[in-house]
Structure 1
Amino acid sequence: MDIINFIMEEALILIPVLMILGKIIKNTPRVKNWTIPYILLVIGVALTSLILGFGIESFIQGVLVTGTAVFGHQLIKQAKNYHLE
């Protein structure tokens, strides 16, 4: 099962946007790493609501795109760490 099949085409653009915003937030002083996924979740839901309109479907899409962005980042990070060992 592929999570991308559940994300609406209009919301797919938010995955790289959230990954870039996450990198920017990570380099911001005084922002703790554990808060980054929560910040991205709020941003993801807000941006999805702007694209799709306010509703439960846009909330779910926001959670899915944020989860995909954070999970994708972790896959890349873990693959790099594994390669270095």
Structure 2
Amino acid sequence: MEWNAIANFIKPELLIVVAVCWVIGYILKQTPRVPDWTIIYLVTLGAVVLVSLTLGFNAESVLQGILCGAVAVYGNQLVKQARKSGDDNDLS
């Protein structure tokens, strides 16, 4: 399954949650006392809470929150890897 197909499962009104999760992840990454391995869990938890506040707490909200958190973290990793790949090509 293609990643875009998974991203299409997110309701359009929740795309702001993805953006907020991206910012939360960035802030956590800059925080010295937050280990990197915890960031995905904290972003996902934040996404579930935000979506639950928006749609009400139910199974769909939890699933949408997990998807929003995953897309934010995965999207951030794509950008980082693309930049890293571009830097490697400049050195050649």
Q: Please indicate the TM-score interval, normalised by the length of the shorter structure.
A: over 0.9
The corresponding residue for 1:31 is 34
- Displacement of 1:38 in angstroms is 0.4
Which runs of structure 2 are paired with 1:58-77 in the superposition (5 Å)? 58-77=61-80
RMSD over equivalenced CA pairs, Å: 0.9
Give aligned-pair identity as a percent.
46
TM-score, length of structure 1 as denominator length: 0.95
- What SS does structure 1 have at the residue aligned with 2:57? coil
- Displacement of 1:35 in angstroms is 0.5
Q: Deviations over 1:7-53 (max 9, x none)?
A: 11221111111001111111112100010000001100000000110
Q: Work out whether residues 10 and 51 of structure 1, in 8 Å CA contact, stay in contact via their aligned partners in 2.
A: no
Counterpart pick for 1:20 among 6, 23, 29: 23
Matched length: 85
Structure 1: segments with no counterpart, 5+ residues: none
- Displacement of 1:59 in angstroms is 0.2
Alpha-carbon separation, structure 1, partners of 2:16 and 2:33: 28
TM-score, length of structure 2 as denominator length: 0.88
Deviation >3 Å, runs of 4+: none
User: What amino acid sits opposite 2:61 in the alignment?
Assistant: S
- What SS does structure 1 have at the residue aligned with 2:64? helix
Alpha-carbon separation, structure 1, partners of 2:77 and 2:46: 19
Structure 2: segments with no counterpart, 5+ residues: none
